[in-house]
Amino acid sequence: MTVTQTILQSIGNTSLLPLRRVAGGARILLKLESENPTGSMKDRMALAMIEAAEADGRLRPDGSVAEYTGGSTGVSLALVCAVKNYPLHIVTSDAFAREKIDHMRLLGAELTVLASNGGRMTEKLTRDMIAAAHEIVERHGCFWTDQLNNTDQLRAYRKMGDEIWMQTGGQIDAFVQCVGTAGSLRGIGDSLRGHNPRIRIAAVEPGESPVLSGGRTGAHKIDGVGAGFVVPLWRANVADQIFAVSTEEATAMTLRLAREEGLFAGTSTGANVVAALRLAEQMDDDATIVTVMCDTGMKYLKSLAA
């Protein structure tokens, strides 16, 4: 008999699936991170950040945790903290999916919800959330996971890169991923390039706020990515190429994935696939491109159905 001791052991080892209709002639494989317990790849980073802090004493057995988040990291931290019995303080905003805010609360997190400018993600909102989280840390003495600066997440994403390498049997030519903290792109990219330095790594950012490409900051509605400024974990050599994908393009592809592939995801996944298709046009017909289904569309039912 094999019995899983906690839900945390179900994190990772997700499936890799080829797109059949959306991809046309290109071979694009999608890493189904929706299979993680909260339906998001952020389960990996949340567990890695908490376990690293436990190991080095930053988080004591009687401690508490704080974070600012667009929602998915917060939901993942809420899951981990519920299992490990840590009080969790989350700063988020009404700019993000209501489903994620409700999910965090149902898992026991204490929320501070900041007002946004018309439900859009902006640089000011990100910085306001960080400042509010800092105040909570000062007031309660919490361990602050501080995801935009926390390198502990890289270990989790290197493991994800190793999964991709093994699942493809080393037959991978390129990897594409949206940039939020830049942790997943860095960690997975490091892993894949460690196996084969010729693998092409492509970053994706919102077309309305193409700051990584040297453009101006702006407002967009792609949850979980595009902080509005160059995030601390970003490195210029992380990506060989950067694609800017608009909210409209990402949303349209998200709906295509649902209706043509049966894959119900969030808009960051739509942006990933748009960029993967653009990259495929630049590569040989027999190239294999891997990208990520970052989370489940169940987190965005109200906004996608609107």
Domain count, the chain: 2
13 and 47 part of one domain: no
Average pLDDT of the segment spanning 40-55: 98
**Summary mean pLDDT of the chain:** 95
Residues 208 and 240 in one domain: yes
Q: What is the residue type of 283?
A: M
Q: CATH number of the domain that 133 lies in? A: 3.40.50.1100
- For the beta carbon of residue 248, count every other beta carbon within 10 angstroms: 13
* In a shared domain, residues 15 and 136: no
pLDDT in tens, 263-292: 999 999 999 999 999 999 999 989 999 999
* Rounded Cα gap, residues 170 and 41, in angstroms: 22
For residue range 183-232, what is the model confidence (pLDDT) as tens digits? 999 999 999 999 999 999 999 999 999 999 999 999 999 988 999 999 99
d(CA 32, CA 191): 18
Beta strands in the chain (DSSP E): 16-18, 27-32, 65-68, 88-93, 110-114, 143-144, 174-178, 200-206, 241-245, 288-293
What is the CB-side half-sphere exposure of residue 65 using CA atoms within 13 A?
32
**Are the C-beta atoms of residues 202 and 252 closer than 8 Å to each other?**
no
User: Which range of residues forms the domain containing residue 193?
Assistant: 7-35+157-305
Give tens-digit pLDDT for 79-131. Answer: 999 999 999 999 999 988 889 999 999 999 999 999 998 888 889 999 999 99
